[in-house]
Structure 1
């Protein structure tokens, strides 16, 4: 992972707050996710930046060096951007006052609108939702969307035209959605093999959904009995009634249903934001990206199951590095979450 300006901002915020928890609140990131990010940043610098105790955190000598240099670098970069904007005529007044955002994960739209309203109060936001990341990417490439928040299988690349710019903002595991009274609902984790006799429900998905799911089950020692493909409401009804279980995003919360992690996280889901780098809204990309990260962190923070799981699995979550996979015929750690 390469060092980015946002990493320096995180370190400075933690140092000023004196607490991971307080810094997480200021940054709009769930505490487990911020802890995971800090571990990755410390790996970049080659050592711990903070000493931790019950009272909070204190910078190490290495941390003192990083904070001191960061406090010089960040204002310099901000000044550079301001000067460049003045010279290029791309100042704040030239920015668009309206953006359109498409999302293949509808649950992120509400927290995203709130976060965008906080960071870009002068910009009007229009939204659209579609289960198909490919469809949204086509709309993005055609200029009918300004930004696209999409998810892809762990073994897939970004959707749409290669001329689009994409950034990963989280790599999440896939959990299982089941009724509260299911025999396995109180388990801290389950294996696919534990559900060998289950029937499965899924919404339509792009790419290799059925092949990936089937081969993942075969590797677990069984062939799935069924895979009912239906709209999201019908899938939820099948799970609620006990007819089927479903694969779901780790942040999913539904009344009367529970999400249960899969042991060893055999399936993963990459969240990305994309835009056209030559578009008039491209100068807003960093601000929108930060808002998307915070919106996703809001979803993570409200899920006790996923937040607790992330504490033990820091390689996942916000800003995690997508692990390379080789698709259907390789190491199967990819699948489209269905609900």
Structure 2
């Protein structure tokens, strides 16, 4: 048997009701029918989801694992269905999206200060997904990143402005043999283990692999995660190094070092729907994003030092 959304809704209904009889009443079927459905789902998943007693049912540890994922799946599907074709025509609500960067956080902080605008925030890892959410009217504006040679194409319904092109640095343990250098040659990192976040749909981490190949090696990547806390933990413990945005903060046990010759760059962009509530404030939106980026640079000594040697990053006008 293939597990379907209706099966996930049944097991969530059972968990919420606390008994098979109450769940059967809630979903409008007989108790034998809901019991049979539960047994089929447990058989398909090869594990017991609930413990039965005269007081009702409680999830097993495996059941808790299943329920957490079932609820996440159902929430995502419900959001997808309810959002399809949805368009809020109000001009005082702005739905802002982006990957978590200082540009996004600084932009949102400034938008919240506007007295005539309400803001909601939605984060995603993939810039291409964010662009699709803009095009499908599920977001009104977003901060994006892409990479020279892999530029995001803006659909006709979306306006886009380049905020800055900046270097990609490397995050390493403060105990790393190269941590004391002002800049690190990429070729000197050939013997390290790397932690690299998975593909984002617009050229990452392909650009990292390409730069490493040009430096004469293929990086050894035993770790892959988008979770910044895990990346920092692996790096601080000396288990890996990681490419990172230049605006990443260093911290206890961690240093951020520029790569000599700047073999990797990324672009920060801001985009908006041309028929959205921020269309008439595109210049203000771009300026807010640029201010947020400049503020992040000023707060990162390693980036400020790099700029003193190489000049300011290329900024979008």
TM over 0.5: yes
Paired residues, number: 226
Q: When the two structures are superposed, what TM-score results if normalisation uses the length of structure 1?
A: 0.62
* Separation of aligned partners in 2, 1:234 and 1:285: 36
CA distance in 2 between counterparts of 1:113 and 1:182 reads 36
Give the 5 Å matches for 1:104-115.
104-115=99-110
Partner of 1:234: 230
Q: Does 1:243 align with 2:239?
A: yes
The offset of 1:129, in angstroms, is 1.1
Residue 97 (structure 1) aligns with: 92
Contact 2:102 2:292 in 1 (8 A): no
The answer (yes or no) to whether the contact 2:193–2:240 under 8 Å persists in 1 is yes
Per-residue deviation, 1:279: 2.7
* Partner Cα distance (1:199, 1:223) in 2: 11
Deviations 1:10-44 (A, max 9, x none): xxxxxxxxxxxxxxxxxxxxxxxxxxxxxxxxxxx
* 1:149 Cα offset (Å): 0.3
> Which residue of 260, 276, 289 corresponds with 1:279?
276
CA root-mean-square deviation: 2.1
- 2-structure distance, mates of 1:128, 1:191: 37
Counterpart in the other structure of 2:309: 312
Structure 2 unaligned residues grouped into runs of 5+: 1-88
State the partner residue of 2:165. 171
Q: How does 1:17-96 map to 2 (within 5 A)?
A: 96=91
Q: Based on CA coordinates, which of the two structures has the bigger radius of gyration?
A: 2
TM-score, normalised to structure 2's length? Answer: 0.66
Question: CA 1:276–1:113 in 2, change beyond 3 Å: closer, same or farther?
Answer: closer
In structure 1, distance between residues paired with 2:232 and 2:153: 27
Contact persistence 1:174–1:262 (CA under 8 A): yes
How far apart are the structure 1 equivalents of 2:298 and 2:314? 11
Distance 1:202 1:143, change over 3 A: same
Residue 75 of structure 1 corresponds to none
Q: 2:295 aligns with which of 298, 302, 308?
A: 298
SS in 1 for 2:248: coil
TM-superposed deviation, 1:272 = 0.4
Compare relative contact order (CA 8 Å, sep 6+) and give the higher one, 1 or 2: 1
Q: Secondary structure at the match of 2:269?
A: strand
CA change 1:162–1:266 in 2 (3 A) is: farther
The CA distance in 1 between the partners of 2:207 and 2:152, in whole Å, is: 17
